[in-house]
Every structure is written in C-alpha cells, then in structure tokens.
Amino acid sequence: MTLLAVRGLVKYFGGVAAVAGVDFDVAAGEVVALIGPNGAGKTTCFNMVGGQLVPDAGTIHFDGHEIAGRQARAIWRLGIGRTFQIATTFASMTVLENLQIALLSHRRRLADPVSSIKSLEIAAARDLLAQVGMTDRAERQAAELAYGELKRLELAVALAGEPRLLLLDEPTAGLGKSERGVLMSLIDRVVQTRRVAVLFIEHDMDVVFGHAGRVIVLDRGRVLIEGAPDVVRNDERVKDIYLGRGAVVAC
C-alpha cells in the first residue's frame, strides 16, 4: 500500500531549481534510502515533505491527505516524524523532558498552564528512552550529550508522535563506525516492532546497502534511478555521478 506519493515536486532557490520535478513513492513499512551527490536536492525534498519548505509545484500525498505546503506541525499530526541533518533537540531540557514535551504535544496537552510537568507522561517517556537504549541518561541535559546520544534522542522524540513515516536526514552523519551500527540496528528494530516506514538520506554506502529495501538516486534535482540496492549499486550512471567516469565503485 502506498503511504507517501510524491509527484512533480519542484523547488526553486532564486533562479536555481534545487528540485526539478521529482516523483517517488514510499509504501507502508518500507525502508527507502534517498541518495545522491551534494546539491542533488535530497534535503530540499525532505523539507517539502516535512513542511519546512513550501514546494513551488507538485503534490505530496500522505495516507490520502494532500500535504504539500501545509504547516510542519499539521504534517506531524498526520503521522510523519523527522530528524534533522544537524541533530536538533531542546538543548536546555533534560533528556526525559525532551520526550515528555513531544509526548504531551502528541496528546494535545501542551496548553495546560497549571500542572507540573514533573509527573506527566513519565512512563511513556521512559519507555521511549528504553527503546533507544538511553535509560541511564534520563536526567542529563540535552546540551551535555555526546553526538551519538543526541541522534538517538532525536529519533526517540520523532517516535513520540507514533509516526507511520519517519524522515531521517543523514542519521549516521558525524558518528563513528560503532555508533553507526548501534543507531542503524536501532532503526531496524523500530521498523520491525512499529511497522513504520522510513525514508532516509545517507552518504555512507555501507549503511545504505545494508539497511535499505529500495534506493532512490537523485541528481541535480531529478530522480536518476530507483530500485533494489543491487540494481542501483551496479548502475553505470550511479558510478558516474559519484566517482566520475572511469572510476571503480569501492562500495
């Protein structure tokens, strides 16, 4: 079943078409990697699906709703969670509070100016924390976390909204080899237990071909090729855009 359907998506920055007519689908529960060289338009696509940018043309259907141009917060309520290229959390709050606030927002309880937040959504927050393996970090301030922990917290925050689609913008960027493994197996587990679809941007080809069920390659604002990892890996055009003509793909 198609969960996300993107058609004819276009975005200009000044006179430059960062995204110049992109079509793709993501099915429910599917893990799809969005790859391509720098400037291919991957993050711009993400920001249009997530509501951070308004497309200049095209449609984005999510679960029967047209979401192109809608507010990020409305899109989140429909069930699309996301992380950012540079991990973004609420730096002044503790890890637990980061999750509480996301959960409270999901349950529409943020308008409450009276109750103390201390006791609210604690169980659910701890549960999420356990899922990303950070139970021992609950009382730490987010600003004090290591980058790998920050990425996991960001993922947990995105999961608080019980999304059916996760947009992960470079989930393993800035992480060491072992941290990458931890984070990706975490994401695999989330996909299995929650049956959530994942669309992720990634530059590490080991991660892409180890975890994606399907790969979409963007180049200069268009879809160059899409298909199973093996097909994409052996496509000459993909080798060209990544390594230049005549080079050998190392991955």
- ∠ CA 44-76-79, nearest 5°, is 110
Place of tokens 């058609």: 7
Distance in angstroms (rounded) separating the CA atoms of residues 10 and 32 = 20
Least Å distance, CB 195 to other proteins, is 21
Least Å distance, CB 144 to other proteins, is 10
Determine contact, residues 224/36, Cβ cutoff 8 Å: yes
By beta-carbon proximity to other proteins, the closer residue of 67 and 238 is 67
By beta-carbon proximity to other proteins, the closer residue of 130 and 143 is 143
Q: Which residues bind to other proteins, rule: CB under 8 A?
A: 50-52, 71-73, 76-77, 82, 84, 88-93, 97, 100-102, 104-106, 109-118, 120, 141, 143, 157-158, 160-161
By beta-carbon proximity to other proteins, the closer residue of 67 and 158 is 158
By beta-carbon proximity to other proteins, the closer residue of 50 and 58 is 50
By beta-carbon proximity to other proteins, the closer residue of 91 and 146 is 91
Least Å distance, CB 31 to other proteins, is 21
Least Å distance, CB 22 to other proteins, is 21
Residues near 108 by beta carbon (within 8 Å), at least 6 away in sequence: none
Distance in angstroms (rounded) separating the CA atoms of residues 57 and 202 = 25
Least Å distance, CB 68 to other proteins, is 17
Where helices occur in 59-204 by DSSP H, the ranges are 72-78, 95-106, 122-131, 147-159, 177-194
- Shortest CA distance to 63 belongs to which of 33, 32, 25? 25
